[in-house]
Chains A and B, each alone.
Chain A
Amino acid sequence: MWKLLQIELYKIFKKPRTYIAFGAIAAIILLIQMALLVNGKEYLQFGLGFLDDSFEIPYDRISNGYWICFVILNLLLIHVPILVALVAGDIVSGEANMGTLRLMVSKPVSRTELVLAKFLASVIYVIALLAWMALIALALSMLLFGTGDVVVAKSMELHQIEQSDVLWRYFAAFGFAALALIMVASLSLLLSCLSDNSIGPIVATVCIIIVCTLISEMQIPLYDKYLKPYLFTTYMLGWKGFFYIAVDADGQTIRGSVQNLPAILKSMGVILIYIAGFVTTAVLVFRKKDILS
């Protein structure tokens, strides 16, 4: 299994397509950082300006590296699944398309191990992608903008998190995002096992995510009750929960707290169930698949 995983990783990281995602993430983050470096205050005023009459908001202190990273994650994490699908959607069907799948399957390795090795390789790719994102979005923002308290808006609430209480939340958020993206990778893997061409599973993954995200975002009671609880996209943005801090009876924020930890844990549980379901189905499909490519 370890040998198969090494082989899969070697193939992934030798393929030029793999680096498109790394390049795209770096380019977008640098563009956002550059824009906020120049117009950060105006951007903040656009979001918080309605409070100017009630509070004196210290815009310069708010637009620090931690806050910039939060903005970047908000803007990016919804699009990263597309980049994950580029690699995971191609991982089996790309080999079928290239003709190498028949050679692989005729080797003395079990089909189950082969799919699991490909899944684990996708997981490592997702983690590498997020580590890269964390390095540029968090580390570089901290370097360029410094650190400070983070102010996060949630509906009509403003959550202020002390500077010393922030970093662990990012690690937790990146961990959650990794789980959500691994779910996307497992969906892509399943679709990849069903197809013999590269593009189909990639496009199908992206379409499924777009449709499900749209439904998840719609505020329609029928969907709220009967559809949203079963859509994986409903749980994908649960990472934001780590930035909503709990308050005590006096209205003071509680250091190290999370407002709704059970909801986050529930989201993680649902995501894990989806991952297990997608991967198990992918293994079953691949074990029975006639390799005709």
Chain B
Amino acid sequence: MSAIIRVNNLSKQFNEIAAVTDLSFTVNEGDVYGFLGQNGAGKSTTIRMLLTLVRPSSGSIHVFGKDLFTHRAEILKQVGAVIEKPDLYKYLSAYDNLSLFAKMSGLQVSRTLLMDQLKQVGLEERAFSKVKTFSQGMKQRLGIAVALVHNPRLIVLDEPTNGLDPQGIADIRNLVLKLSREMGKTILVSSHLLSEIELVATRMLIIDKGKKMVEGSVAELLDPSKTVVQLETTDNKETKEKLKQSKWSGFLQPDHGAVQLKMNKDEVPALVNDLVNMQVQLLSVNSTHSLEDYFLSLTTRPGHVEAFTN
């Protein structure tokens, strides 16, 4: 399976703020790649770097096997994107908007092509209405038409369901599945909601504070036989060092300082036994079972808890 996107050690610094730090991941051909993280985790900055809107501070991005910034135009011809809100020219009609962006994608536009595209997103009857009269859902559908009109190989959807009603969310989900399964497109879709990603994604990356937390296939991450064990010890740093030198090193997960290991449930007693033998002073052992718990355990910040308790 060939890599469509290959990101290596990508970082972006805005003055003092590190928006993305040393991020690496690979999106393979045919993947519906879920890009998951809370608001402000660095998803949009990463996506903007993938679309050349933001220049990385360091690291590299290869798309279709070529360096993104040296083969920019060639690559972007094969990419369609909806970036956050579908902002379009409000004083122009849906048809005019689609026509302008199709031309910018290097397409020879025809009325038939544009009307077909509008029909696919259910906007045929409103083709000549000004966008300022559209609902949020209609704008989103038009934004998707703009992203798909030039038949791209790679589709990037940044929080595509933001502001949509349940029906709109279901429509987007079905569209993503259709594009992937029937048309073989590679899709990178970001969201802050795990429930959205797990319904469509084949692989996913969880990002927090600009750093990669975990990457893998959804099936593997959602495997009910697996669990994530979080240890609290008197010296987490020392515990990690001891685990790295033991048979458990391959199970260690990246985290914010806590010690986390991903393993089969039946391996937990053996882990605890070994920790005792290693003379680790255990304060607590927590085992989370669902990806939702795992996601929350990785990304919940102390500030969030304080906000609820105050």
Contacts and interface: CB of A to CB of B under 8 A. Distances in A.
Interface stretch (A51-59, A105-113, A233-241): A105-113
A107 B87 contact: no
B89 A100 contact: yes
B51 A98 contact: no
B303 interface: no
B298 interface: no
B53 A110 contact: no
A16 B91 contact: yes
B53 A290 contact: yes
Given A288-B55, A290-B54, A291-B53, A106 B91 contact: no
B103 A7 contact: yes
A219 to B, nearest CB: 46
- Which of A15, A103, A104, A110 has the most chain B CB within a 10 Å cutoff? A103
Interface string B212-254: 0000000000000000000000000000000000000000000
Contact of B79 (A10, A106, A291): A106
A4 B96 CA distance: 14
Interface string B130-165: 000000000000000010000000000000000000
A7 B92 CA distance: 12
A73 B279 CA distance: 92
A110 B146 contact: no
B83 interface: yes
Interface residues of A, number: 24
B20 interface: no
Contacts of A225: none
Nearest to B78: A108
Contact of B103 (A3, A110, A288, A292): A3
B73 A110 contact: yes
B80 to A, nearest CB: 9
Contacts of A109: 73, 104
A103 B76 contact: no
Nearest to B14: A290
Contacts of B89: 11, 14, 98, 100
Interface string A1-32: 00110010011001110000000000000000
A102 B73 contact: no
B104 A7 contact: yes
B232 to A, nearest CB: 39
B103 A108 contact: no
Contact of B48 (A10, A99, A292): A292
B73 A15 contact: no
Interface string B73-99: 111110101011101111110001000
Contact of A107 (B14, B74, B104): B104
A108 B74 contact: yes
Contacts, number: 77
Given A3-B103, A100-B88, A108 B72 contact: yes
Contacts of A291: 48, 53-54
Interface residues of B, number: 32
Main secondary structure on chain A at its contact with chain B?
Answer: helix
B76 A106 contact: yes
A288 B38 CA distance: 28
Nearest to A11: B89
Nearest to B51: A106
A11 B52 CA distance: 24
Contact of A102 (B79, B83, B106): B83
B101 interface: yes
A290 B73 contact: no
A14 B76 contact: no
Given A104-B104, A107-B101, A290 B79 contact: no
A292 B52 CA distance: 11
Contacts of B105: 107-108
A93 to B, nearest CB: 14
A292 B51 CA distance: 12
B100 interface: yes
Nearest to B104: A107
A98 B74 CA distance: 27
Contacts of A14: 89, 91-92, 96
A8 to B, nearest CB: 10
Contacts of A98: 87, 89-90
Contacts of B101: 103, 107
Given A98-B90, A290-B55, A106 B81 contact: yes
A13 to B, nearest CB: 11
A107 B152 CA distance: 12
Contacts of B90: 98
Please provide the 10 A-B residue pairs with the shortest distance between their CB atoms, ordered closest to farther.
Answer: A99-B87, A291-B53, A108-B76, A107-B104, A106-B51, A108-B73, A108-B77, A290-B54, A102-B83, A106-B81
Interface of B: 14, 48, 51-55, 72-77, 79, 81, 83-85, 87-92, 96, 100-101, 103-106, 146
9 contacts: A98-B90, A102-B53, A102-B83, A103-B87, A103-B101, A108-B77, A290-B14, A291-B48, A291-B54
